[in-house]
Homo-oligomer: A and B are copies of this chain.
């Protein structure tokens, strides 16, 4: 058996290719939109991808299963569990239903389906047997390393009122059922550290059932009500884009457009025409560059590990996006990352020359003051954009706490007519907040060393970033 785990850092997600060299065949589980990576990996191992499947209707990235099946000619298998509201609705290519107990055979490898609802009603897991011996399971968003999948997303992200508690109860049942399997089986999750799909995801790419039972909080609670209470407490704010993601993955994601061939423009007319028709100007340069000089009203999200998720929070699905980037590679990377969540409307990119052209045409470029936490002026209002969980018990007195992704929807909580000092934990997120506040019409300062800098001013012991 050949097993390859693929890591997508932008959406903190794992996907899998399992193959049998003897049969020359392979299956792919939970494919993301970079479907070429699976085709290339299979070709390198002289395998053909003959089956494609996924654990559930994903909420946090756009599925590549549909496109991969089309490109390879593989059979597409999708969960038929969860009731009528949870059925995939697209018809091209045809897909075959998977139900609890079904199996898919790849040479000597048996992939057995278990219905494991909780995170979502249709969620299934795949038990992998090699030559009849159970070796491990792809558990999707059901079991993570150190956590279980949150059952509240449908309610909190997709506004399906009253689904969180029943989901939590189903999750408890799924956990109980899984607990009966042998301790030594491998647990291959769909997410790793950083994802918003659980609260304490680990940085190890795989676990075992025995280790999870020994250390995971969810496995040690035998009382269902207690479990329900626990699993619903302290979940991080779900990104806004999750709802749209669910919808797109259900009705069938489009093939990935040619985002890595994003054209470059240098026409001020094109730039202004795009703004005229409502396009978001997304400045993806390093934050130091943005703060030093940018076009007023541009949204700033630098390219780093969480880029795609902040785009999902702060840009609408239907918005056209034009990018400002330091070079061609980063412009195309930004568009590629956006495509992981289906934000496919990046239409062109501009280099830094557009700043000069813009200025020459008589417009003003904006510079943002970039201060140490100790230098924040008394009369400024301090805005803390860290997440709810981060602020808990670690707050800055008098600061207004608004989670970065929620700044637009909660804009009325931001005091008007005052200078704002935007801060986060260590300085990575606050420049994004600066751009959001500027777009809302505020006068802003960036607090470059954030809460950690604040601690230093307070004379507390230096904390390492």
A residues sitting closer than 8 Å to B (CB atoms) are 1-5, 19, 21, 24, 36, 39-40, 42-43, 46, 48-49, 70-74, 130-131, 133, 135-136, 182-186, 193, 202-211, 213-215, 255, 257-261, 263-270, 286, 288-289, 291-292, 328, 348, 351-353, 356-357, 360, 367, 370, 372, 448, 464-465
Q: What would be 28 A-B contacts, judged by CB atoms less than 8 Å apart? A: A3-B205, A5-B205, A19-B203, A21-B203, A39-B264, A40-B328, A42-B353, A43-B352, A49-B266, A70-B267, A71-B263, A71-B266, A73-B270, A133-B211, A133-B215, A182-B183, A183-B210, A184-B211, A185-B210, A186-B206, A186-B208, A210-B210, A255-B263, A260-B260, A286-B286, A286-B288, A288-B292, A367-B372
Task: Select which of B3, B214, B270, B465 is within 8 A of A70 by beta carbon.
Answer: B270
User: What chain B residues lie within 8 Å of A255 (beta carbons)?
Assistant: 263
Give Cα A338–Cα B267 distance, bound, in whole angstroms: 27
Task: Select which of B214, B261, B289 is within 8 A of A259 by beta carbon.
Answer: B261
Is A353's CB under 8 angstroms from B184's CB?
A: no
Select the residue from A1, A257, A288 with max chain B CB neighbours within 10 A: A288
A259 to chain B, nearest CB (A): 7
A182 to chain B, nearest CB (A): 6
- A42-B353, A184-B214 known; 20 other A-B pairs, CB under 8 Å? A2-B193, A2-B203, A4-B205, A24-B464, A40-B328, A43-B266, A46-B356, A48-B353, A48-B357, A133-B211, A133-B214, A182-B183, A183-B210, A184-B208, A185-B210, A185-B211, A186-B208, A208-B208, A286-B286, A288-B289
Give Cα A356–Cα B205 distance, bound, in whole angstroms: 26
A22 to chain B, nearest CB (A): 9
Residue ID in chain B nearest A259 by CB atoms: B261
User: What chain B residues lie within 8 Å of A215 (beta carbons)?
Assistant: 130-131, 133
User: What chain B residues lie within 8 Å of A202 (beta carbons)?
Assistant: 1
Give Cα A49–Cα B268 distance, bound, in whole angstroms: 11
Give Cα A257–Cα B213 distance, bound, in whole angstroms: 48
Select the residue from A2, A24, A48, A291 with max chain B CB neighbours within 10 A: A48
The 7 closest A-B pairs by CB, nearest first: A184-B210, A258-B258, A73-B267, A258-B261, A2-B203, A73-B269, A43-B353
Is B292's CB under 8 angstroms from A360's CB?
A: no
User: What chain B residues lie within 8 Å of A205 (beta carbons)?
Assistant: 3-5
Give Cα A255–Cα B182 distance, bound, in whole angstroms: 46
Give Cα A107–Cα B354 distance, bound, in whole angstroms: 20
Give Cα A202–Cα B2 distance, bound, in whole angstroms: 7
Evaluate whether A184 and B209 lie within 8 angstroms (CB atoms) in the complex, with A71-B263, A71-B270, A370-B292 already known: yes
A360 to chain B, nearest CB (A): 5
A94 to chain B, nearest CB (A): 12
Give Cα A255–Cα B24 distance, bound, in whole angstroms: 40
User: What chain B residues lie within 8 Å of A74 (beta carbons)?
Assistant: 267
User: What chain B residues lie within 8 Å of A39 (beta carbons)?
Assistant: 264-266, 351
